[in-house]
Structure 1
Amino acid sequence: MTVELRGLTWDHPRGYRPLEAFEAAGGADGVRVRWDRQPLSGFESEPLDRLAEKYDLLVIDHPGLGAAIAAEAVLAVDDVFGAEDLDVWRSRAMPPTWASYRIDDRNWALPLDAATQTCLVRPDLLTGPPPATWTDVLGLSGIVLCVAGPHAGLSLLGMAGDRTHTTLLDRGRAVTAIEVLRDVWRRSDRSAAALDPIAIHELLAASNDLTCCPLVYSYAYYGTAADDRRALGWAAAPRLLATDGPGLGTLGGTGLAVTHRAYDRVLAVTKYARGLLDTRTQLDVVSPVGGQSASAAVWESDAVDNAWNGHYSATRDTLAASYIRPRFDGWIAFQDELSERVRELLGNDDDAGLAVDRIEADYRARGPAASKVG
């Protein structure tokens, strides 16, 4: 007898093609998952507890984890899967992805997709190498910044987030980052101001004038050319300071979460997860259709890297050094407000230090200490 589960993922090909390809390849023996799709924004607009009533599996991102836990929409994966399975999956995942779904010594999702902010370029239009520093960015023409939605704030976090998580921002870095972003914004093509990362990739792939978006979530899917677009390339996120190591960005990606609805079908969920997260599945089924796996084996594969125009080797170090966002219940709202503040700062001459201090004060008032989910 076949057990049928229902799942919800996001509606970009990177979000649904790997899951559909796994099902088409036979999936997990005796288990079928019917995957529905919705925009990434839909996971924030519809309450997670309501989604959890309709779906057994949810593809979520780590910043929304606190809200999911507070709503009791997802189960700790420690309560679903055996320790041996969890140890295997942890050992196979790119390190920051596993850590991003761990709160209060419990694991709440299995890393499925991995992404970070990197430097996106049109290799055929650049006259030299991709910019290694933000000073190099200022020397380019045809620049766009990704500032729509949460992305202005996420750029500031990538450049200046406190990776010890003692505070939200490293104050000195944040002041420098705001000043640099202002300079880049003055040279940027403003027509892209309302575009999300997917639209930024599509814009650069189709344009003959735009050469670089210095900090944007990468989509390996655009490493191949099509009739209506050129192949894109990537590089490490630009260094803010000369002393910086690999470029710094903010972690993205998604994880596979299990809802209470699936609790009485744990064996089926386990069988499905084992099949989907198997290394051969990730290399031979997920990667060829444009999935951006969280599996370290994919990020280290020369064959996968070559198939997607060097995306993985170009961005692997940035991914490994990525900033993991706060995940308390209420973070998403704060993240949106942070981005709005950064957009305002790009267009004015307000004192950057005072602005950073105000952001930090609001974060202390509303952050993890004020939430029951840190």
Structure 2
Amino acid sequence: MTELKGITWNHSRGFTPLQACCQRYQDKYKNIQVEWHKRSLQAFADFSVEDLSKQYDVLIIDHPSVGEAFHSNCFIHFNEYINKDVLNELAANSTGLSYQSYTYKNAQLALPVDAAAPASSLRKDLFLQHNEAVPQTWEQLIALADKGKVALPAIPIDMLMNFYMLCIACGNTPFSNNKEVIDDETGENALQLMAGLYSRLDEKMFHCNPIAIAELMSLTDEYWYCPFSYGYSNYTRKNYAEKLLTYNDVVSYSGAKLCPTLGGTGIAVSAHSKHITEAVHIAMMLASESIQSGLYVEHGGQPAHIKAWQSDYANNLTNNYFIDTLPALQRAWLRPRYHGYLQFQDEAGYVLHEHLHKQTSSSKNIMPLLNKLYRKSQANEKSITV
């Protein structure tokens, strides 16, 4: 028996499908076992992948960490272990930019197994009960927020992802050069939009991540609508959520749908592992169409393979979660992944949170501070890879 150790994040979407798929793999092949460990969603975003790679054989990661991983040589490059045709097929069947998000300087550092982007979620029963229309535009969203019925994750990381999204909505794409996150005018316009929305939210939102929002909306009748939060198909499934959520595309601003920031996870193999061959087999199994469209989605997973998202089977399980949120995911923008980006992400999210929650400074002071943090974060990498 070859025993591998894996690390993932602590939610049914992140743990249960891995456990189920690897147990079935062991049932069939007998000689490989994976012991999965969990860490919190915040630790998932914060903890060094280089340190984790010294403790685990297979790791569920998010794509902003690939710059760090590449420069520390802590993960194998799948293109050195897997046939090019197999990788090309995975790339061709990627949901949005999920596959490409783990490609860095021509190295494939992870295989996508989970795909996500911010989507809207709502309690359809409450909208019907109160004869209210679901918001389709930014203006309608603000009107519903004025009634106190809007929930939104407003911890630092989610604020930053929404800042990127609203910069794009205001006409320019972040990180277009290595001097500034975004031009001052676009950045300040995005901050004003955020202030207009966040000022209408309940105080508790500033302490909620996407999971907490989904739990709040499915356990109480207090909030009817979340305009953009990383989607969790679990809350659309019978016998999981007490009151089911319905997910859809995000609202429009100035006549165009918002362009959210890509999320999701991939599976990486530690370069320190003593069982790289076996670990690669596990990763290929988890990323394969048959597993993604079957056991993975059956056990609460949110696959990265496009054919799973388009399948009637997956959509019947999830009240059409996949097909209804697919447009937002296909539009999703890929944030930077350069070595040092994670430092910027942590610090910039905190700046936005302090500004929008505690209103500690003028919006005109925010862009110079973000740009300073951005330039500082590039110290470990001379060129930007987005």
Distance 2:217 2:283 in 1: 36
Do the aligned partners of 2:219 and 2:243 also contact (CA within 8 Å) in 1?
yes
Is it true that 1:322 corresponds to 2:320 in the alignment?
Answer: no
Aligned pairs for 1:1-374 within 5 A: 2-27=1-26, 29=29, 30-43=31-44, 46-126=47-127, 127-140=131-144, 141=147, 142-161=149-168, 163=173, 165-167=175-177, 168-169=181-182, 172-226=185-239, 229-242=242-255, 244=256, 246-262=257-273, 265-347=275-357, 348=359, 352=363, 355-367=366-378, 370-371=381-382, 374=385
Q: How many angstroms does 1:200 deviate by?
A: 0.7
| Greater Cα shift, 185-194 or 250-259 | 185-194
Compared with structure 1, are the counterparts of its residues 118 and 228 closer, same or farther at alpha carbon in structure 2 (3 Å cutoff)?
A: closer
1:132-191 CA deviation, whole Å, 9 max, x = no partner? Answer: 222110111311221114111111112225547414336554333221221112221222
1:251 corresponds to which letter in structure 2?
L
Q: How many residues align?
A: 370
Do the aligned partners of 1:328 and 1:368 also contact (CA within 8 Å) in 2?
no
Normalised to the residue count of structure 2, the TM-score between the two structures is: 0.87
Unmatched 5+ stretches in structure 2: none
1:327 partner SS: coil
Distance 2:86 2:152 in 1: 41
Q: How many angstroms does 1:231 deviate by?
A: 0.3
Do the aligned partners of 2:247 and 2:324 also contact (CA within 8 Å) in 1?
yes
Compared with structure 1, are the counterparts of its residues 45 and 249 closer, same or farther at alpha carbon in structure 2 (3 Å cutoff)?
A: closer
1:298 partner SS: helix
1:183 partner SS: helix
Distance 1:170 1:44 in 2: 27
Do the aligned partners of 1:48 and 1:71 also contact (CA within 8 Å) in 2?
no
Compared with structure 1, are the counterparts of its residues 192 and 318 closer, same or farther at alpha carbon in structure 2 (3 Å cutoff)?
A: same
| Greater Cα shift, 225-234 or 86-95 | 225-234
Do the aligned partners of 2:112 and 2:287 also contact (CA within 8 Å) in 1?
no
Q: How many angstroms does 1:256 deviate by?
A: 0.5
2:335 partner SS: coil
Distance 2:379 2:305 in 1: 29
Compared with structure 1, are the counterparts of its residues 85 and 269 closer, same or farther at alpha carbon in structure 2 (3 Å cutoff)?
A: farther
Q: How many angstroms does 1:371 deviate by?
A: 5.0
Compared with structure 1, are the counterparts of its residues 354 and 373 closer, same or farther at alpha carbon in structure 2 (3 Å cutoff)?
A: closer
1:367 partner SS: helix
Distance 1:355 1:268 in 2: 48
Normalised to the residue count of structure 1, the TM-score between the two structures is: 0.90
1:99-134 CA deviation, whole Å, 9 max, x = no partner? Answer: 111122222111111111111211111244432222
1:27-63 CA deviation, whole Å, 9 max, x = no partner? Answer: 5634322212222333455443332122111100011
Q: How many angstroms does 1:241 deviate by?
A: 2.5
1:343 corresponds to which letter in structure 2?
H
Q: How many angstroms does 1:329 deviate by?
A: 2.3
Pairwise CA RMSD: 2.5
1:195 corresponds to which letter in structure 2?
C
Distance 1:257 1:332 in 2: 18
| Greater Cα shift, 215-224 or 275-284 | 275-284
Q: How many angstroms does 1:354 deviate by?
A: 5.1
Q: How many angstroms does 1:296 deviate by?
A: 0.2
| Greater Cα shift, 249-258 or 233-242 | 233-242
2:330 corresponds to which letter in structure 1?
A
Distance 1:270 1:355 in 2: 44
2:74 partner SS: coil
Unmatched 5+ stretches in structure 1: none
| Greater Cα shift, 112-121 or 268-277 | 268-277
Do the aligned partners of 1:163 and 1:323 also contact (CA within 8 Å) in 2?
no
Q: How many angstroms does 1:12 deviate by?
A: 0.7
| Greater Cα shift, 40-49 or 6-15 | 40-49
Compared with structure 1, are the counterparts of its residues 59 and 371 closer, same or farther at alpha carbon in structure 2 (3 Å cutoff)?
A: farther
Distance 1:228 1:89 in 2: 32
Distance 2:303 2:92 in 1: 14
Do the aligned partners of 1:3 and 1:32 also contact (CA within 8 Å) in 2?
yes
